[in-house]
Amino acid sequence: MELFKEIGGNFPLDPIPDQRSNHWVEQVGSSYFFSSGRAAILAMIQLSNAAGKKVALPYFTCHSVIEPFDRAGCELLFYPVNPHLRVDEMTMIEFCSKEQPFLLLYHDYFGNVQEEIWKELWVAFQDQILFVNDQTHSFFGDNESYAHFSLMSMRKWGAISEGGMLRVPSKMSFGFDYANRLASDVRLECYVQASELKLEYLNNDQSKEKELFRKLFYQSESFFDQEQEVYPMHPTALTAWRQLLDADFRQRRKRNSLILSDAWSVEWNIWGEPIFDASSTAVPLYFPILLKVERKLFQIFLAERNVYAPIIWPKSSLISIKGDDVLYNQLICLPIDQRYGESDMNRLVCILDEFHNQLDR
Ligand X SMILES: Cc1ncc(COP(=O)(O)O)c(C=O)c1O
Binding stretches for ligand X (CB under 6 A) = 36-38, 62, 64-65, 107, 134, 136, 153, 155, 164, 224
In angstroms, the CA 5 to CA 205 distance is 9
Closest distance of CB 126 from ligand X, Å? 22
> For residues 155 and 198, which CB has a smaller minimum distance to ligand X in the complex?
155
Closest CA to 41 of 60, 67, 17: 67
Closest distance of CB 361 from ligand X, Å? 37
Three-state DSSP class for 103? Answer: strand
Closest distance of CB 310 from ligand X, Å? 10
Closest distance of CB 40 from ligand X, Å? 8
> For residues 112 and 153, which CB has a smaller minimum distance to ligand X in the complex?
153
Closest distance of CB 343 from ligand X, Å? 29
Three-state DSSP class for 279? Answer: helix
In angstroms, the CA 214 to CA 308 distance is 13
Closest distance of CB 212 from ligand X, Å? 23
Answer yes or no: are the C-beta atoms of 309 and 286 closer than 8 Å.
Answer: no
- Contacts of 199-204 spanning 24+ positions with Cβ under 8 A: 199/12, 199/14, 201/4, 202/3, 202/4, 202/5, 202/6, 202/12, 203/1, 203/3, 203/4, 204/4
> For residues 155 and 210, which CB has a smaller minimum distance to ligand X in the complex?
155
**Which residues sit opposite 166 in a β-bridge?**
32, 151
Helices 89-99 and 115-125 sit at what angle, rounded to 10 degrees? 30
Q: Strand 164-167 and strand 149-153: pairing?
A: antiparallel
> For residues 240 and 352, which CB has a smaller minimum distance to ligand X in the complex?
240
Task: Report the residue closest to ligand X, judged by CB.
Answer: 37
> For residues 38 and 339, which CB has a smaller minimum distance to ligand X in the complex?
38
> For residues 196 and 221, which CB has a smaller minimum distance to ligand X in the complex?
221
Q: Which residues make Cβ contacts (< 8 Å) with residue 357, sequence separation at least 6? A: none
Closest distance of CB 110 from ligand X, Å? 10
**Dihedral, CA of residue 322, residue 273, residue 252 and residue 151, to nearest 10:** -20
> For residues 154 and 260, which CB has a smaller minimum distance to ligand X in the complex?
154
Closest distance of CB 17 from ligand X, Å? 20
Answer yes or no: are the C-beta atoms of 245 and 154 closer than 8 Å.
Answer: no
In angstroms, the CA 257 to CA 336 distance is 6
> For residues 37 and 288, which CB has a smaller minimum distance to ligand X in the complex?
37
**Which residues sit opposite 78 in a β-bridge?**
57
Answer yes or no: are the C-beta atoms of 126 and 104 closer than 8 Å.
Answer: no
Closest distance of CB 134 from ligand X, Å? 5
